[in-house]
Chain A
Amino acid sequence: MAGVSVAAEWQLLYNRYYRKPELYQMQWKQVDLTRNKVACAPFGGPIAAIRDDAKIVQLFAESALRKLRIFTSSGRLISETVWKNPGGRLIGMSWSDDQILVCITQDGTVYSYDIHAELINTYSLGKECFESSVVECVFWGNGVVCINEAFGIFAVPDFKNHRAVKLADCNLEDLPHCIAVIEPQYTMSGNVEVLLGVGDHVLLVEEDGVQQLGVGIGPLQKMVVSRTGKLLASFTHDGRLLVISTDFSNIIFEYTSLLVILCATVYDEPIILIPECDGVRILSNTSMEFLHRVPDSTVSIFQIGSTLPAALLYDALDHFDRRSAKADENLRLIRSSLPEAVEACIDAAGYEFDISQQRTLLRAASYGQAFCSQFQREHIQEMCKTLRVLNAVRHHEIGIPLSIQQYKLLTPSVLINRLINAHNYLLALRISEYLGINQEVVIMHWACTKITESLGIPDASLLEILLHKLKICKGISYAAVAAHADKNGRRKLAAMLVEHEPHSSKQIPLLLSIGEEDTALVKATESGDTDLVYLVLFHIWQKRPSLEFFGTIQARPLARDLFINYAQCYKHEFLKDFFLSTGQLQDVAFLLWKESWELAKNPMASKGSPLHGPRVKLIEKAQHLFSETKEHTFESKAAEEHAKLLRIQHDLEVTTKQAIFVDSSISDTIRTCIVLGNHRAAMKVKTEFKVSEKRWYWLKVFALATIRDWDALEKFSKEKRPPIGYRPFVEACVDADEKGEALKYIPKLADPREKAEAYARIGMAKEAADAASQAKDGELLGRLKLTFAQNAAASSIFDTLRDRLSFQGVS
């Protein structure tokens, strides 16, 4: 059977099979793990190696200077740098979750490197570590705990913060046997907790306290905290293996004999174990292997003698390939459980590192699927997709040996980020495209790196190179790339790039930051987004002297109008300066005139107060400015009249001792005078402002009707023949409901139609009809008839409803 050779490589341990396929033959030469301090990143990450200065080693044909070298998991050198850092011996070195290499030296200095062996930053753990050397470091994904010679314990809880804290003093007299750390994310307090194996017990050290735990279980030689921080595995000096919950409340299990001595025994060279979420990678000088439990699906297929459906399906494919009829027989046997067999083959394929094995398993799945009526076909497609990605990154040139479980835990987007960081842009781009993930991140990072590394390439050619790639990705932020170019001192390139940015809201702030205000103003105006125009406007306003600013905006109508709007609301005086500088005197005049009203609205400006003086002055100033241009003669005259009116009104208030004149119109002033019986004053206002006879008649008639002085009205009607006839008199009387008075004037109306309507309005139907017939206007007659049609009385509720509608509609 085909499975025999596969299962032969497994090892049974209790009731589980384990296997350790070889991932790579290491590509490096002359790397001896014993001579080096080595740090390996999980998730198939890079390996950092540096000659161990704690050991005495013989130098071969090499420099005495140490080199920090960074390799892929396949042993390909990514980068190297000469280690020249002061600070004494290198105590600890480890990769963070973000794939930053953190190195800590004796004096407590922390050096961070990226995978290109570029020093990113350095910081210190503090004075105490500087004075008493660091002796041991324990790292976790995002932080580290150190202990120094004075037995002080220090922690960097978050590598991003570059901040060290000292934990509570636990008065040690000797170095602890062993140290373990519970990461902040798994502790109750959210702060890091350190476990120290001291004497026969364990000390739990936090920032603000020490607790003694598990008295009598030790002494412990070694402690390891589980991935989720819940369990602690420890090894006692008398050879027991204990698994304890991290709060030491109960012992989960205890072995007295050594069980897991799986690997070390068979290796004749030094190895390093790299823990992963689903197994452990074993690194030796020459190879990397992956020790993990054989997954159930794989067992079901390849276990020797397995007759499970998956095994039969796999076997069926083999028969099929050999054109054996037994294939069909196999299928018949497992018909009912075919879907689960297919599922198992797909699943098992995912766990394989060997490409041909993956292929065989997937073919088996696909073969079985053909006989399943209802099967989620996407499963195979999905697995093929995943495996393509995994095989691509596992390639020894890339050297990221992710298992499928690690890949799922890591997520595709993080994987892409790692590829980007390693400058594997093409692969990152292809994977993004393949998985339908936005390629923007890849292209953006590429473009920025390209700019940084292309100091020698002239702007125009670099622009071309960049544009060629940037256009792959719709919606990419050209402004961000431009900002990067600007940061790298390539302002001209930045300007060229930002030209391509379609989002005005991103483009304009950048144009401002690179000093291209005028372009920014043009672009902002084009965008139609007034908020952007304001942004540029305020920027220029702040930056340039007033006159230059005025000149700039005067040429741009939208900017100018927005400035005027803003200034009208908030910078009144500055607006005047603007109008004066551009010679718009009439606008200054309008502003002054408006100010005079503002003064009037001011509650302090009680009528007749000295504030009238300033008001009149403002208006006269406005009048003067209006008169400078001949297009504004009308305004000039109006302002002149306004000033005159205010003066007259002021005088009237003084003489009548009534504060009722100021700020009423000329017509109102005349009416008020007549109502007060001051006909001379009314006449004076009329003459001063050359009020026409027509207006005068309407005003006086209405004013007299207001005070119901019908005698005066009649007298007025007889003064002379009214220039607009007797209609005003009729209207005034009708409106005041004075029929008798109205009848004095109706007969004098010249137009019979007017006469008819007037009669109708006071309810004299017959006279109205007479007048209408005199006018020979049928339509008028009809309309009048309607006016007199009266409703019948209502009898019931519905009648009421209906009758209330018996009104005349509109014509």
Chain B
Amino acid sequence: MAQVPNLDNAPINLTTIRDQSQKELITILKNVRGKKCLVIDPKLSGSLSLIVQSSQLKEHGAELRHLTAEPVETDCTKMVYLVRAQLNLMKFICSQIHNDTSKGLHREYFLYFVPRRAVACEKILEEEKVHELLTIGEYPLYLIPLDEDVLSFELDLAHKECMVNGDTTSLWHIAKAIHKLEFSFGTIQNVRAKGKASTRVADILNRMQAEEPVNTSDMGIPEINTLILLDREVDMVTPMCTQLTYEGLLDEFLGVNNGAVELDSSIMGVQQEGKKLKVPLNSSDKLFKEIRDMNFEVVVQVLRQKATSMKQDYTEISTTTQSVSELKDFVKKLNSLPEMTRHINLAQHLSTFTSKPSFLGRLDMEQTLVEAQSYDICFEHIEEMIHKQEPLINVLRLLVLLSITYAGLPKKNFDYLRRELLHSYGFEHIATLNNLEKDGLFKKQDSKSNWLTVKRALQLVVEDTDTTNPNDISYVFSGYAPLSIRLVQHAIRSGWRPIEEILKLLPGPHSETKKSGFASSPSFDTLPGSLNNSEKVAEGRRSLVLVVFIGGVTFAEISALRFLSSQEGMAYDVIVGTTKIINGHTLIQTFVE
């Protein structure tokens, strides 16, 4: 199974999008004739593994390297840099070229920016006097299909850059990516946004549509009906909680990167001392598609059932005489054995984490924090974690939960914990604390908390959640329904209007626009904002909602969305767009300097 996922079952034609990106990359390589050294910035290289296999790049005469501060050792006379337009990467390129010049090496340099050239980057190149040595181009990669229903803009720092540094480059990027989708799938008619960044993206998207209108006449009915934009800022509670779906837990403990986990081969039952193994995780794996969104507790049961039924089949085969067709069925079932083994291995490995008392303790604490009824217990727990010098990120995840649910900490507590943190983890974390404060994740209490009102109004804590046969999205956190997805649920069902009062309690403005001018849809009078019934049924196909998370989304939230769209009476498919797949750990990590 490959890391490049199969996209044939996607609700829109994502294959063409990926093929296009692949073609553009190959064209870049072809345009530089002969042997060349392709130097890719490491993060980009991870993203590209979802588009093209490295063997394909090598076929076109490329020697592959990662861009680091160190000079590249190669015999190639042509250097092709493929980098995201980020300032810090420019220094690496400059120093490599300077290094070549000082050694008297004469090379041809090509620099391709992803997704486009950037004035600020080129300014550095000019100041370092390497600009005239470079042939500069663009590789317009704005999004990557992670799976048949997930698109990533691959902007891992978007949230921090926007919130802490005030750099909104990512917002333009997101709008551009959506606008590009519109050129393939038609103008999106309904746009609903919540949060400062989201409303801004909706606004930029509007401008882009005015500047470069999508020719609707030769496109037919737009394939994407509704766009919902949501800031991560609106719901920072959810990512701080430990995800309890199978895929979510895999990410929490093993880290899913670019649709694959990397772990010791021994865990997967391959006896190769100390060797790492990459296990792809996407819908091409039928069993994974079936269980990825389930609560891990249930996954264990399902796998057990499957194993038992196989054993039964096996017993029957060996004891009774079977017809050939029955034998054939059995052999067919055997084909799924590798997948079974793979996931049993993974699940068993996960269970070594989940059975630890410390893990159960953490879940307890998260539950208590979300319920927001016992401040002192939580505060003392966190204090103790700091004193025990537990991993900083684990501490910060809970601390952020505490701070958000109580709209900050009383000044005394705030200063005390900050001091304890600096004493325990080092003074350099003043920068981390400063970042968290700027983002509003860990701050001094300045107002009354809305959390209890929001929690109650949106029924975020659900008693007696049935994780086996779930009837609500709360199953993904065993009792907590993610706020973000509750909002999406409302937005899809009825638009913002019915929950406007609640929206006002959450950070950032909200907006809702409906584009007119699509003549062929019959104009029934419906509530503004709601998915028009006629739109849904008339064409005899499910309408499509694109939900974009600005600042990242967790696997558990994606699972919750899949759960929603699979519910009876929900006549829509959901595609998720995100700046990056995140979890509490990776999100907090961006703030640590």
Contacts of B355 in A (CB 8 A): 807-808
Q: Does A799 contact B (CB under 8 A)?
A: yes
Distance in Å: Cβ of B202 to nearest Cβ of chain A: 11
Chain A residue at smallest Cβ distance from B85: A531
Q: Does A593 contact B (CB under 8 A)?
A: yes
Distance in Å: Cβ of A563 to nearest Cβ of chain B: 10
Are A665 and B424 in contact, with the CB atoms below 8 A?
yes
Bound-complex Cα distance A801 to B308 (A)? 9
Contacts of A802 in B (CB 8 A): 304, 307-308, 311
> What are the interface flags for B487-506 relative to A under an 8 Å C-beta threshold, 1 for contact and 0 otherwise?
00000000000000000000
Are A638 and B387 in contact, with the CB atoms below 8 A?
no
Q: Does B434 contact A (CB under 8 A)?
A: yes
Max count, chain B CB within 10 A of own CB: residue among A564, A757, A799, A808: A808
Q: A557-B166, A809-B296 are in contact. Are A566 and B357 (CB under 8 A)?
A: no
Contacts of B211 in A (CB 8 A): 502-504
Are B363 and A811 in contact, with the CB atoms below 8 A?
yes
Q: A561-B165, A642-B427, A663-B426 are in contact. Are A570 and B387 (CB under 8 A)?
A: no
Bound-complex Cα distance A635 to B415 (A)? 10
Contacts of A702 in B (CB 8 A): 388-389
> What are the interface flags for A554-565 relative to B under an 8 Å C-beta threshold, 1 for contact and 0 otherwise?
000110111011
Q: A557-B166, A801-B340 are in contact. Are A645 and B307 (CB under 8 A)?
A: no
> What are the interface flags for B410-453 relative to A under an 8 Å C-beta threshold, 1 for contact and 0 otherwise?
00000100111011111110110010000000000000000000
Bound-complex Cα distance A762 to B34 (A)? 66
Are B300 and A757 in contact, with the CB atoms below 8 A?
no
Distance in Å: Cβ of B340 to nearest Cβ of chain A: 7
Interface-facing stretch out of A321-329, A372-380, A693-701: A693-701
Q: A531-B119, A698-B388, A811-B360 are in contact. Are A665 and B423 (CB under 8 A)?
A: yes
Are B167 and A565 in contact, with the CB atoms below 8 A?
yes
Bound-complex Cα distance A810 to B389 (A)? 25
Contacts of A99 in B (CB 8 A): none
Within 8 A of B (CB), among A777-806: 796, 798-799, 801-802, 804-806
Within 8 A of A (CB), among B302-329: 303-304, 307-308, 310-311, 314
> What are the interface flags for B188-200 relative to A under an 8 Å C-beta threshold, 1 for contact and 0 otherwise?
0000000000001
Interface-facing stretch out of A46-54, A236-244, A522-530, A740-748: A522-530
Are A528 and B203 in contact, with the CB atoms below 8 A?
yes
* The one of B303, B388, B478 that contacts A810, using a Cβ cutoff of 8 Å: B478
User: How many residues on the B side are at the interface (Cβ–Cβ under 8 A)?
Assistant: 71
* The one of B175, B341, B347, B426 that contacts A805, using a Cβ cutoff of 8 Å: B347
Within 8 A of A (CB), among B155-196: 165-169, 171-172, 175
Bound-complex Cα distance A6 to B200 (A)? 72
Q: A570-B87, A810-B297 are in contact. Are A667 and B348 (CB under 8 A)?
A: no
Are A695 and B420 in contact, with the CB atoms below 8 A?
yes
Within 8 A of A (CB), among B229-256: 244
Are B354 and A530 in contact, with the CB atoms below 8 A?
no
Are A799 and B428 in contact, with the CB atoms below 8 A?
no
Distance in Å: Cβ of B167 to nearest Cβ of chain A: 5
Q: Does B344 contact A (CB under 8 A)?
A: yes
Q: A474-B213, A590-B434, A811-B478 are in contact. Are A528 and B171 (CB under 8 A)?
A: yes
Interface-facing stretch out of B9-17, B49-57, B120-128, B545-553: B120-128
Within 8 A of B (CB), among A654-710: 663-668, 689, 691, 694-695, 698-699, 702
Distance in Å: Cβ of A102 to nearest Cβ of chain B: 37
Contacts of B373 in A (CB 8 A): none
Q: Does B207 contact A (CB under 8 A)?
A: yes
Q: How large is the interface on A (under 10, 10 to 19, 20 to 34, 35 or more residues)?
A: 35 or more
* The one of B169, B210, B387 that contacts A698, using a Cβ cutoff of 8 Å: B387
Contacts of B426 in A (CB 8 A): 663-665, 668
Contacts of B388 in A (CB 8 A): 698, 702
Within 8 A of B (CB), among A513-558: 527-531, 534-535, 538, 557-558
Q: Does B135 contact A (CB under 8 A)?
A: no
Are A695 and B119 in contact, with the CB atoms below 8 A?
no
Are A530 and B308 in contact, with the CB atoms below 8 A?
no
Q: A695-B387, A805-B304 are in contact. Are A666 and B423 (CB under 8 A)?
A: yes
Distance in Å: Cβ of A751 to nearest Cβ of chain B: 13
Bound-complex Cα distance A1 to B304 (A)? 97
Distance in Å: Cβ of A561 to nearest Cβ of chain B: 3
* The one of B119, B166, B419, B423 that contacts A538, using a Cβ cutoff of 8 Å: B119
Contacts of B420 in A (CB 8 A): 695
Are B172 and A561 in contact, with the CB atoms below 8 A?
no
Q: Does A641 contact B (CB under 8 A)?
A: yes
Are B124 and A570 in contact, with the CB atoms below 8 A?
yes
* The one of A531, A562, A569, A699 that contacts B88, using a Cβ cutoff of 8 Å: A569
Q: Does B77 contact A (CB under 8 A)?
A: no
Bound-complex Cα distance A570 to B91 (A)? 9
Contacts of A641 in B (CB 8 A): 422, 427
Within 8 A of A (CB), among B349-388: 351, 354-355, 357, 359-360, 363, 383-384, 386-388
Q: Does A634 contact B (CB under 8 A)?
A: yes
> What are the interface flags for B87-105 relative to A under an 8 Å C-beta threshold, 1 for contact and 0 otherwise?
1100100000000000000
Are B363 and A810 in contact, with the CB atoms below 8 A?
yes
Q: Does B454 contact A (CB under 8 A)?
A: no
Bound-complex Cα distance A702 to B351 (A)? 28
The SS class assigned to the B binding surface is helix
Are B314 and A561 in contact, with the CB atoms below 8 A?
no
Q: Does B133 contact A (CB under 8 A)?
A: no
Contacts of B168 in A (CB 8 A): 528, 530, 558
Q: Does B118 contact A (CB under 8 A)?
A: yes
Contacts of A663 in B (CB 8 A): 426
Q: Does B204 contact A (CB under 8 A)?
A: yes
* The one of B171, B204, B300, B422 that contacts A638, using a Cβ cutoff of 8 Å: B422
Distance in Å: Cβ of B333 to nearest Cβ of chain A: 12
Q: Does A487 contact B (CB under 8 A)?
A: no
Distance in Å: Cβ of B6 to nearest Cβ of chain A: 27
Are B430 and A593 in contact, with the CB atoms below 8 A?
yes
Contacts of B389 in A (CB 8 A): 667-668, 702
Bound-complex Cα distance A694 to B357 (A)? 23
Are A566 and B120 in contact, with the CB atoms below 8 A?
yes
Q: A694-B387, A805-B303, A809-B297 are in contact. Are A534 and B213 (CB under 8 A)?
A: no
Bound-complex Cα distance A782 to B172 (A)? 55
Q: Does A624 contact B (CB under 8 A)?
A: no
Chain A residue at smallest Cβ distance from B296: A810
Are B204 and A562 in contact, with the CB atoms below 8 A?
no
Q: Does A162 contact B (CB under 8 A)?
A: no
Are A528 and B175 in contact, with the CB atoms below 8 A?
yes
Bound-complex Cα distance A642 to B422 (A)? 9
Bound-complex Cα distance A810 to B294 (A)? 13
Within 8 A of B (CB), among A712-732: 724
Chain A residue at smallest Cβ distance from B389: A667
Q: A528-B200, A529-B172, A561-B166 are in contact. Are A798 and B314 (CB under 8 A)?
A: yes
Contacts of A695 in B (CB 8 A): 386-387, 420, 423-424
Chain A residue at smallest Cβ distance from B118: A531
Are A807 and B311 in contact, with the CB atoms below 8 A?
no
Are A667 and B424 in contact, with the CB atoms below 8 A?
yes
Interchain residue pairs with CB less than 8 A apart (23): A503-B211, A527-B204, A528-B171, A529-B172, A557-B166, A565-B165, A570-B91, A590-B434, A638-B419, A666-B422, A694-B387, A695-B423, A798-B308, A798-B311, A801-B307, A801-B311, A802-B307, A808-B351, A808-B354, A809-B301, A810-B244, A810-B297, A810-B359
Instruction: Name A's B-contacting residues (CB within 8 A).
Output: 474-475, 502-504, 527-531, 534-535, 538, 557-558, 560-562, 564-566, 569-570, 590, 593-594, 597, 634-635, 638-639, 641-642, 645, 663-668, 689, 691, 694-695, 698-699, 702, 724, 757, 761, 796, 798-799, 801-802, 804-811
4 further A-B contacts with Cβ under 8 Å, apart from A534-B120, A569-B88, are A695-B424, A698-B388, A810-B296, A810-B297
Q: Which 8 A-B pairs have the closest CB atoms?
A: A561-B166, A798-B311, A528-B204, A809-B297, A642-B427, A665-B426, A569-B87, A666-B423
